Structure 1
């Protein structure tokens, strides 16, 4: 399995997450009832950090898979591999989560092929089972197992959308960028910058978010604000940090980038 396909697995250590609504309450309720969870929201709004925080709070191991269009069922479930001259079965990340009672998080699930996500159906309804055809067995999910998937509705299309039969097996939690005061707390917590620096970055982000497309596929996320804030702690000026961490990642179009840089000059002080 190559790098993009490799699952990242770890017990979380005090990840910071600032609640903005009832998302924690809904997640815990769904988890306690053995229900699968669908997280919807724009890029960089905190979906992944939320899952990390909930895994820590529930004291469950977290197995994360970044989905992509080459992800196969075997990548998730497992495959036979040649080891030391013998053919051995190796569990995929989904199977490990089912066996261990872990939280399995499929990030940007709509990027995976539709024939791959079908394997989730018996896991995400009342059966909570994972059939492994190559082994001729069906695994019952261990206590504590929870399936969580996420996607960005802004990227929806006929070709990239979650099947209705999959969506209706899950409890959906919608995310958006947090309120300014909450986002300011997040920036300070994640980067260590002053309240003034955080406030300036958020003011800039709000201005970018008010743009009507303007050639941008995505607006300034909380994630890019944190990156810019962190750059300032290494000696870059606030405007320099914003150019490298906000304007440049948001667009490759010279005119759009120039417009973003003008906004940086207008909203940020050195």
Structure 2
């Protein structure tokens, strides 16, 4: 593994921080498992602080990031890792994923059976970050097998001759989910399971919501610089009205079963730029970005929101009409 290297927080993440404040990463930027750096990514200070604190000292914990779909849970981790040259083993969980797939298994290679280490074993041995995306979709009895390794105890692989992997001091475990291990109370995230309490007790938890308007404005403007500022502002207004109807009020369910995540918002902007010559370009792009998968009455409601917010711009034929 590469030698450690200090990175100034202010210049590494383009945030306001004392010049002397540093975080440790790796010197070698050539490892193939280092995530690709996304130029123009905007870090949220509080979330960046919490993740960096965990990277500095895990204290025998994992870090669980919870929040609505498309809020940027995984990208927060990977973009931090990209700037610290920290390799990542990322797994998207599902209901049929078993623990042995994370640890490793025997496979047939060139006519002989060989044991191939899985992402958990590699991350623990090499000091990588392990990201369990959509972890609350996985069988809780399988995830409970991670309890000891999260706490820093050795990983014993019985299938490979009782091989013992001592976790690297820089090994970290992240999990993301739309719930916090208590199951889905909304009915919107199919397949989410209530998780084992002992497993969840081993995690710090941070909530990742949608960015503040000013920050999300910068995200969209950076992603689609050709969009006029006024149009970006109108897209944000539409997104926030959709989210309000999706989330509902208090304990009442929302009126929509689809939402405008930051990911979907950027997709809308990119499609609007791509199809800039199409009739009613913003409605056309919104259909592909979001509403084609909505129920007809919800699609109509969302398009009414767009028409109300955009006004005359909703009817423009090309960007030249803006």
Query: Within the alignment, does 1:119 sit opposite 2:145 as a pair?
Result: yes
Distance 1:130 1:185 in 2: 43
Query: Within the alignment, does 1:200 sit opposite 2:224 as a pair?
Result: no
Distance 2:257 2:275 in 1: 30
Q: 2:212 aligns with which of 171, 179, 185?
A: 179
Contact 1:119–1:130 at 8 Å: present in 2 too?
Answer: no
Q: How does 1:7-156 map to 2 (within 5 A)?
A: 10-15=33-38, 16-34=40-58, 35-127=61-153, 129-135=154-160, 136-153=162-179, 156=183
Greater RCO between the two (CA within 8 Å, min separation 6)? 1
The 1:204/1:11 distance shift into structure 2, 3 A limit, reads same
Equivalent residue for 2:296?
Answer: 254
Task: Give unpaired runs (5+ residues) of structure 2.
Answer: 1-31, 186-191, 317-322
Contact 1:106–1:149 at 8 Å: present in 2 too?
Answer: yes
The 1:43/1:64 distance shift into structure 2, 3 A limit, reads same
Task: Give unpaired runs (5+ residues) of structure 1.
Answer: 1-8
Distance 2:152 2:254 in 1: 45
Alignment deviations for residues 52-103 of structure 1 (CA, whole Å, 9 cap, x no partner): 1111233211121111111111221111112222110011111121122111
Moved more, 116-125 or 104-113: 116-125
CA apart distance, 1:19: 2.8
SS of 1:210's partner is helix
Moved more, 175-184 or 188-197: 188-197
Distance 1:247 1:214 in 2: 16
SS of 1:153's partner is coil
Distance 1:229 1:67 in 2: 29
Distance 2:140 2:257 in 1: 24
SS of 1:144's partner is coil
Contact 1:41–1:152 at 8 Å: present in 2 too?
Answer: yes
Contact 1:76–1:93 at 8 Å: present in 2 too?
Answer: yes
Distance 2:111 2:275 in 1: 54
Contact 2:275–2:285 at 8 Å: present in 1 too?
Answer: no
Q: Normalization by structure 2: what TM-score?
A: 0.75
Contact 2:123–2:129 at 8 Å: present in 1 too?
Answer: yes
Alignment deviations for residues 153-177 of structure 1 (CA, whole Å, 9 cap, x no partner): 2892497123221122112111111
SS of 2:96's partner is coil
Contact 2:136–2:179 at 8 Å: present in 1 too?
Answer: no
Alignment size in residue pairs: 259
SS of 1:233's partner is helix
The 1:217/1:94 distance shift into structure 2, 3 A limit, reads farther
Contact 1:12–1:61 at 8 Å: present in 2 too?
Answer: yes
Q: Normalization by structure 1: what TM-score?
A: 0.88
CA apart distance, 1:186: 0.7
Runs of 4 or more off by more than 4 Å in structure 1? none
